[in-house]
Amino acid sequence: MDTPEFTSHADELIGHNTRFAADFPDADVPGRPTRNLAVVTCMDCRLDPREMLGLAKGEAHIMRNAGGVLTDDMVRSLVMSQRALGTREVMIVHHTRCGMEGVDDEDFVDHLEQETGARPEWTPGGFADVVADVRNAVRSLKESPFLLHKDHIRGFVYDVDTGRLVEA
């Protein structure tokens, strides 16, 4: 099977950035989120968290990883968001048809070890049920000894087919 040739887009994007920076519109956007909000969501390219939630630049911390999974690093980021930058509310936003749904962590890690000879210290964070995973993430954050503000932590599932957000 032939592998298609890879085309890098970095040079084109750097050109876009040069034009963007020439008339930089965001110099006055604050470093602390003005809505005191942190959003944890997936890196999926179908999701545009600011657009889906009607947020402007500077209103929220948007934290993304594969699956929007509550990893140790995500908790670290949330702790910094609250303790150093004043956020008081957290939204966990997973989505339908996520690539992490159905991933078996042990099989994935075993495959990586067989392929590379090294076993990662992290797990992928696959889950069987998106709603259950959101609820587990909310519960876990509410039990964290490191977060200051736990009264406004809520979880949602975004439907990639309709654009609707439903509380989990």
Three-class DSSP category at 44: coil
Tens-place pLDDT, residues 34-78: 999 999 999 999 999 999 999 999 999 999 999 999 999 999 999
Tens-place pLDDT, residues 106-120: 999 999 999 999 999
Residue 162 gets which letter from DSSP?
T
Tens-place pLDDT, residues 88-112: 999 999 999 999 999 999 999 999 9
pLDDT band at 6 (very low <50, low <70, confident <90, very high): confident
Domain layout of the chain by residue ranges: 29-167
Question: Has this prediction a pTM greater than 0.75?
Answer: yes
Three-class DSSP category at 96: coil
Instruction: Provide CB contacts within 8 A for 120, sequence distance 6+.
Output: 109, 112, 113
64: which strand partners? Answer: 41
Instruction: Tell me which fold the domain 29-167 belongs to.
Output: Beta-carbonic Anhydrase; Chain A (3.40.1050)
pLDDT band at 1 (very low <50, low <70, confident <90, very high): low
Predicted pLDDT of residue 25: 84
Show the CA angle centred on residue 42, arms to residues 128 and 54, nearest 5°: 130
